[in-house]
A and B are shown apart, each in its own frame.
Chain A
Amino acid sequence: MTRREWLSLSAAAAMARPAFSAPAPASPVAVARCRSYGPELTTTLSKMFDQIGGLGKLVAGKTVAMKVNLTGGPSQRLAHVGAESAHWTHPAVIAATVHLMSKAGARRVRILESSWSTTEPIEETMYAANWDPSLILNAGGKVEMENTNFLGQGKRYHKFTPPNGGYMFKEYLLNHSYEDCDVFVSCAKLKEHITTGVTIAMKNLFGITPCTIYGDGAPVDEPSLVPKGGRSAVMHDGRRAPAKIAVPEHPGSPRQAGARIPRVVADLVAARPIHLSIVDGIETMSAGEGPWCPGVLPIKPDLLIVGLNPVCTDAVGTALMGYDPMADRGTPPFQISDSTLRLAEEHGVGTRDLKRIEVIGLPISEGRFEFAKYRAPMPAFMRRG
């Protein structure tokens, strides 16, 4: 660690908000073996929803907003592997969930994602990935999609405020879709993350921040109409402030991505609570969150995870990936980052302590899939030195 990094981390520690005194809530998490995206998927998911208390009482008569993970551009693949089998939530998981929610009485299901650097509708992003969005749109009653990387169909951005002033920002401005819903769902992929160690239900929310405000190409003052680029400059590295329509981050906040991203994510899951987490770990990838990461490989853990509390769900997911959810900076998978799980726990969102989490269905010991065992040799052009 460089002196600069140490100083920035010290500053972060000094500005860390006081933790909740009450223990963070715990909630059961369902785990299941599912070996394909075929018919067994819907029956497995249905059973899992029942195991955590049933979908009906959560979604009946409600508008459900479901953030899916379609990170990166639609034409990027891990070698020849389709995005759905590597780094994107599989469309069959989305469609099965939509179907079950509609069956459980959901009034409307809205599929949300901030498509990479564009205002194009999500349906177009899906087509570009060689998906057929009609399979999702026709899976339930009223199903809509909205790209939340900009103002979208809303008239203004909506404020979301994390507890205790937030780790990084006092408030976040988001697309209306995150406000205009009764139930919020994170429908994520079970993946490692090159910076934050893991990306499961919580890290999925990093993508709800609109790049018209928090993106590399955001103007200094007002939001742009069209998002340009990713979130490196503002969110990852703190090289610049968001558009001035948003409040700037706290003075003295850390400069290192491994400290910043987990804090932003913890803030977001506290400010925009997740009511249901669904994690696609049937087919996924190792060594990173997308094909652009070095050493990635397609893997097949054959797992599904469902939970009502995103910290508990991610704790179980982390354990299933072969890591200790109680680990923190310096210990895998958090070699270069703070633990998003701990930070969210300290925000009072939920516990990461497996001793307090009831795992229903497949025991962790039987489902564990050691992600760290799967590393591809880096191609020559990626090696340095």
Chain B
Amino acid sequence: MPVLLAVRVEVSLSSDWTPLRWPCGPLDLEQSKDIQAVKEALTAWLDPKALSFLEGGPVNAILVSWAGGTATDAKQQAALQPVIAEAKKRNIAVLGRVTGEAPNAAKAAAAAGLSAIVTDTVVPSVGGLKVIPAVTPQQAAGIGSPLMALTKSTWPRIPTQWRARDGKRGDSGGATGGGPTGAPWVESSGWICSLATAKAPGKKFWLLSEPPEDVIGYRPATYQLAVADAAAYGAHWVVAFDADTRKALASGGAKDTWKAVADAKQFFAARKACLQRPEIARLGILSDFDGPNEFIAEEMLNLTPRRAVPYRIMDLPKFKPTSLSGLKAVVWIDEKEPSGSARSALTAFVADGGVLIAPASSAGLVSGKPASNFEGRFNVYNLGKGKVAIASEPWSDPWVLCADTHLLLSRKHDMVRTFNAGSCNVRFTGTPGKGYLHVLSFTARTFGYPASFYVAQPYKTARWSTLDSVQDQPIEIKPKGPGVEVHLPDFGPYALVEFGA
């Protein structure tokens, strides 16, 4: 994929679009898998009448495939004309997805009356056409646009619970194995949204995750989970349906799915303020998240939530000593030893009682004999009131690093603990005296084992809401040690607990 570098986008982008991915036409047919239902859905949505289900819903923009840098681009753009015309009549903005090298895409889009293009290639702006860069979190740091679309994303789910179109369990050839985490293997884009926000604070991000076409079994709650997997992390999912649902929507069906998505979008739109709060965490993950450090750093962000450990992402180029405030442990991911102000700040952090976890290549941070050894994988040195744990070998298994980090920090300092929630990820955010616990259940269904959650803050009140039917209801809190527990009744894909002092 061509890398988008520092595109200057001077236009002011509409932040009010709630887009829906609208796949149809020759370009999508060319790029789609050879699945009959997919082909039928792509054909069905080329009919402008299919747009009628959007009437009265939250979606006010459709994202069509505009150019892929192939000979089919012109056919695609021609085929889309009726859809574009109908969308205009309905006051729905049309946005074009541009992938690959397509230098004429912007000009063609402007001429066709599109409102914007979402592109991962360098495209000069044309006329009033807006350009929304499609980026990885790393690329987001250098881009001035107030709105970006995240291309690096995954469909939220527990893969082994899905049935492939060929009837096998799990869409990876029927594999039944769990992940390295012991708990169910969960795929989520939450960390991608968080990393993008850390790289480009204050920017708005769309998440371009699409439902895999080679599996079946999508339910309304599946799509609510997709909404939540972006929204709970401050991003916005570009709504995208599977082929069967698209076909049904085109012919006036799948009303329950459409309503579920609309409700979920509305739910989060009404709670914008609480979605922008910072993590309440005792663990910091400090890296440039790039180059040789990218794999371990990103997998730490991806896997640490499986241990229900909230973390603060600290992007090295933006690092300030105040970033360490309130933390008990920091993982320095990068191969290069800390230097400059980061080194000074980390040294002070350890001297004051913090735990610094660093790779073998950072052995220069310490001298003398280690005070102890941790599981044969870390030499632990006492420094001031704190500790420095230096890995004995280069890191290779991020899950082991996650587990080791959790234990080096110690569960004593857990900010969150979860019970009967092995298939859930949690995000804990807030401001002094106010906490927000976002709980995402990747089974996307009630499961008969009601979950409990502990947060290590002495809150006095709690209210909870779900995407199902619970709206801002008070819920009992039970003091437990330095924090409180809440016992939630069964819920579907998402629950929000709002704590107060």
Contacts and interface: CB of A to CB of B under 8 A. Distances in A.
B480 A379 contact: no
Interface stretch (B17-25, B191-199, B404-412): B404-412
Nearest to A381: B448
B182 A381 contact: no
A128 interface: yes
B419 interface: yes
A379 B412 CA distance: 35
Interface string B416-443: 0111111000000000000000000000
B447 A77 contact: no
A50 interface: no
| B: contact size bracket | 20 to 34
Contacts of B414: 127-128
Interface stretch (A104-112, A116-124, A367-375): A116-124
Interface string A162-186: 0000000000000000000000000
B291 interface: no
A76 interface: yes
Contacts, number: 48
Contacts of B450: 79-80
A124 B485 CA distance: 19
Contact of B449 (A79, A119, A130): A79
A76 B407 contact: no
B487 interface: yes
B448 A76 contact: no
A40 interface: no
A132 interface: yes
Nearest to B417: A130
A43 interface: no
A10 interface: no
Chain A interface mostly? loop
A382 B481 CA distance: 35
Contacts of A291: 420, 449
Contacts of B421: 75
Nearest to A128: B411
Contact of B417 (A76, A120, A128): A128
A381 B420 CA distance: 16
Contacts of A117: 182
B154 interface: no
Contacts of A120: 407
A75 B182 contact: no
Nearest to A132: B481
Contacts of A77: 419-420, 449, 452
A76 B420 contact: yes
Which residue among B452, B454, B480, B481 has the maximum number of chain A CB atoms within 10 Å of its CB? B452
B331 to A, nearest CB: 18
Nearest to B421: A75
Interface string A68-86: 0000000111011000000
Contacts of A128: 411, 414, 417
Interface residues of A, number: 19
Which residue among B182, B411, B421, B448 has the maximum number of chain A CB atoms within 10 Å of its CB? B411
A75 B411 contact: no
A151 to B, nearest CB: 12
Contacts of B419: 75-77, 80, 130
Given A119-B375, A124-B411, A381-B448, A130 B422 contact: no
Nearest to A382: B448
Interface string B478-491: 00110001010000
Contacts of A80: 419, 450, 452, 487
Interface in A53-97: 75-77, 79-80
A124 B374 CA distance: 14
B240 to A, nearest CB: 30
B158 to A, nearest CB: 16
Nearest to A229: B182
A128 B421 CA distance: 13
A10 to B, nearest CB: 35
A127 B410 contact: yes
Contacts of B422: 75
Contacts of A379: 448
A130 B448 contact: no
Contacts of B420: 75-77, 79, 291
B411 A127 contact: yes
B485 A130 contact: yes
B177 to A, nearest CB: 12
Contacts of A132: 481
A119 B400 CA distance: 12
A376 to B, nearest CB: 11
A128 B480 CA distance: 13
A132 B417 CA distance: 13
A77 B481 CA distance: 18
Interface string B446-468: 01111010100000000000000
Contacts of B407: 120-121, 124
A163 B182 CA distance: 38
A372 to B, nearest CB: 23
Nearest to A80: B487
Contacts of A75: 417-422
A213 B417 CA distance: 31
A381 B410 contact: no
Which residue among A76, A80, A132 has the maximum number of chain B CB atoms within 10 Å of its CB? A80
Interface string A107-151: 000000000010111001001101010000000000000000000
Which residue among A75, A117, A124 has the maximum number of chain B CB atoms within 10 Å of its CB? A75
Contacts of B485: 130
Contacts of B447: 381
A381 B450 CA distance: 14
Given A79-B449, A379-B448, A381-B448, A127 B412 contact: yes
A217 B410 CA distance: 26
B182 A130 contact: no
Given A75-B418, A75-B420, A130-B454, 10 more contacts: A76-B420, A80-B450, A80-B487, A120-B407, A127-B410, A127-B414, A130-B480, A130-B481, A130-B485, A379-B448
Interface of A: 75-77, 79-80, 117, 119-121, 124, 127-128, 130, 132, 291, 379-382
7 contacts: A75-B418, A75-B420, A119-B375, A130-B417, A291-B420, A381-B448, A382-B448
Enumerate the 3 nearest inter-chain pairs by beta-carbon distance, A residue then B residue, closest first.
Answer: A127-B411, A80-B487, A379-B448
